[in-house]
Amino acid sequence: MQVAVLGASGKGGSEITKELAARGHTVVGISRHPDAIPDLPGVQRKAGDASKPDELARLIKGVDAVISAVHFDIPSATLLGAVKQAGVNRLLVMGGAASLKGADGVMLYDSPHFPEEIKPIVKPAITFLDELREEQEVDWTFFSPAMVIFEGERKGPGSFELGGDELVTDGDGNSKISYADYAIAMVDELEQHNHSRQRFTAAYP
């Protein structure tokens, strides 16, 4: 496929770009810092600002899918507007974990243990997901990572477990995944299309 990755120079976006290129997909990597996008065969590095829908629509026109790894200070309406303007039907979003539910069925954001100082940072991701769930035209997927996502080794396929709206944890109650393994699950979803208009998550069991 030809896939546009928004925020391709960031921690998540760069790993997703690497995984796509390794599997033979053509990548249009878009960032305000294009020189920081992985320089790999099959990767086109382009300067662009996802907060400007007309500009973004021009950059992504003709791709088969868009994967967004940008921060949630860009509203869903802006991103969806650009995708629709470009005529792209598939949107995958690198989401947040705060909207996942714990074992008690309570959203992590609403848990008494959730740090108050982080709430203003993660709330836009929750709003973004709520708005995606109202979207009827674009085929979207929202991929929440584990509670802790970190720069670390690529353990590879089979090292993580997928989930839906509930946090995936290991035997000690920890929830974590590396950006590299997160990228595997993201590209798996692109190729297998198992979560159309759904949210899913992944973590090491």
CB 192 within 8 A of CB 88: no
Q: What is the pTM assigned to this prediction?
A: 0.96
pLDDT for residue 190: 98
pLDDT for residue 58: 97
DSSP code per residue over 48-112 = --TT-HHHHHHHHTT-SEEEE-S-TTS-HHHHHHHHHHHT--EEEEE--STTSB-TTS-BGGGST
pLDDT for residue 40: 97
Report strand pairing: 43-47 vs 65-68. Answer: unpaired
pLDDT for residue 8: 98
Q: How many domains would you assign to the chain?
A: 1
pLDDT tens series, the chain, 205 aa: 999 999 999 999 999 999 999 999 999 999 999 999 999 999 999 999 999 999 999 999 999 999 999 999 899 999 999 999 999 999 999 999 999 999 999 999 999 999 999 999 999 999 999 999 999 999 999 999 999 999 999 999 999 999 999 999 999 999 999 999 999 999 999 999 999 999 999 999 9
SS3 content of the chain, % helix, strand, coil (to 5): 35, 25, 45
Q: Render pLDDT for 36-78 as a digit per residue (tens, 0 to 9).
A: 999 999 999 999 999 999 999 999 999 999 999 999 989 999 9
pLDDT for residue 3: 98
CATH number, position 193: 3.40.50.720
pLDDT for residue 112: 93
In angstroms and rounded to an integer, the radius of gyration of the C-alpha atoms of the chain is 16
Segments forming the whole domain that contains residue 107: 2-203
